[in-house]
Amino acid sequence: MVKIKKPRYVEKFSFGNEGSGNMLIFGDNMEALDSLSENYSGLVKCIYLDPPYNNGEKYTHYNDDKEHKKWLDDITKRLKMLKPLLSEDGSIWISIDDSEVHYLKVAADEVFGRKNFLTTIVWEHRTSRENRKVFSNNHEYILVYAKNPEKFKRSRNLLPATDEILSRYKNPDNDPRGPWQSVSAHVQAGHAVKSQFYSIIAPNGKEHKPPNGRCWIYNKEKMEREILNNNIWFGRDGNGVPRVKKFLSEKVVGITPETLWLGSEVGTTNTAKKHVLSIFPTSPVFDTPKPEQLIKRILDIATNEGDIVLDAYLGSGTTTAVAHKMKRKYIGIERGSHIFDLVVPRMQSIINGEENAGITEEVGWNGGGGYNFYDLHPEEINEHKRIYQVN
């Protein structure tokens, strides 16, 4: 039996409130996930992965060019280790581009089950035109799976209603219950019962019958009660087709997330890079970081305050940065030295309330909290002790 390697707590790189439950782990993510299996099984609400895309490109921190089968085997192994960590209503979101998206989809189907696949998000990661290639590739993908789709559907959040949606609620009749919008009072007749076919007599005496192939949404008795309670609208002059009033005060106003995420709404690779460069103007930052707004939308949909978020390819620390500002608990795993160069100072700046970019203003972040730092490779951290002049 292989002994599970336990992460070692490193006080020097930990920061803020030690009891926060937040973790940064320096080490191979396979070993780290193995070490988390005992205490975090079934507890992680949302996993976000931004793995190497295997697109053949050379980046500042790594060459993204691995033999296809090796790349697929590596990521499949990690997906298998991540699955047990998800809560029953948890979800996993995986960023990828055209190079491997279809192969990754098949592999993820095998691990999580095809019925557990929720959707593919298309993210507009570039708004400028790329003229060097045959096509200007302006999008990437996020594959989304749920541990249990029905439970995820019940627990997932709507996105905040836009000003355009809220503007639909008006109060033309000065109803004391406040603004409302109207919806059709008739529906398709395919599954209707006899009591849904009748004539409605409006308060002004006008008769209304449902259109061909349609029936009224309520039976006659309930419809008359709703008319009496001023819940049916017949237009300003009383002659309009009856419609049902839906009040803003009685409704949880939100919108179902769509699958096309525009750069103007959730940021682009360029806006993300500018953000990271504003924090580290002299450091070799990642070429393709994810914007905080993109991760925020994922966490808005999939999590609530206090839920655990995990990122096994932490990179420059965007996921933990967003999770911290949104008051989620988090586990971030990173193998590269940039966990010291980028993630640690970034998180410390956030905790100190010194970082004012990304989603900071949007969520009203002012500082606080903390994280504990762990490592699985003490022989490698010794080099960073030298760099950081740790005694």
- The angle subtended at Cα 375 by Cα 373 and Cα 381, nearest 5°, is 105
Tens digits of residue pLDDT in 258-267: 999 999 999 9
Domain count, the chain: 2
Mean pLDDT, all residues of the chain:
90
44 and 153 within one domain? yes
- The angle subtended at Cα 271 by Cα 266 and Cα 273, nearest 5°, is 125
Boundary (domain end) residue, out of 250, 275, 293: 250
Q: Would strands 139-146 and 86-96 be described as parallel, antiparallel, or unpaired?
A: antiparallel
Q: Which residues of 166-196 are buried (b: 16+ CB within 10 A; e: fewer)?
A: eeebeeeeeeeeeebbbeebbeebeebeeeb
**Residue 258, amino acid:** E
Give the H or E element holding residue 45: strand 44-49
Model pLDDT, residue 118: 98
Alpha-carbon gap, residue 329 to 87, rounded angstroms: 14
Model pLDDT, residue 147: 97
Q: What are the φ and ψ backbone dihedral angles of 87, each rounded to 5 degrees? A: -70, 170
Does residue 271 fall inside a structural domain?
Answer: yes
**Does the model's pTM come out above 0.85?**
no
Give the H or E element holding residue 165: helix 163-166
Q: Inform me whether the pLDDT recorded for 119 exceeds 90.
A: yes
- For residue 284, name the pLDDT band (cuts at 50, 70, 90): low
Tens digits of residue pLDDT in 310-368: 999 999 999 999 999 999 999 999 998 889 989 999 999 999 999 989 999 999 999 99
Model pLDDT, residue 338: 85
Boundary (domain end) residue, out of 215, 250, 285: 250
Q: Inform me whether the pLDDT recorded for 1 exceeds 50.
A: no
Domain of residue 236, residue span: 163-250
140 and 283 within one domain? yes
350 and 294 within one domain? yes
Alpha-carbon gap, residue 13 to 382, rounded angstroms: 12
Q: What share of the chain is helix, strand, coil (3-state, %, to 5)?
A: 35, 25, 40
348 and 298 within one domain? yes
Tens digits of residue pLDDT in 13-45: 999 988 899 999 999 999 999 999 999 999 999
Least confident of 26-40, 68-82, 136-150, 371-385: 371-385
181 and 119 within one domain? no
Does residue 113 fall inside a structural domain?
Answer: yes
Q: Inform me whether the pLDDT recorded for 152 exceeds 80.
A: yes
Does residue 60 fall inside a structural domain?
Answer: yes
- For residue 163, name the pLDDT band (cuts at 50, 70, 90): confident
Boundary (domain end) residue, out of 250, 280, 302: 250
297 and 183 within one domain? no
Burial class (CB in 10 A: 0-12, 13-18, 19+), 135: exposed
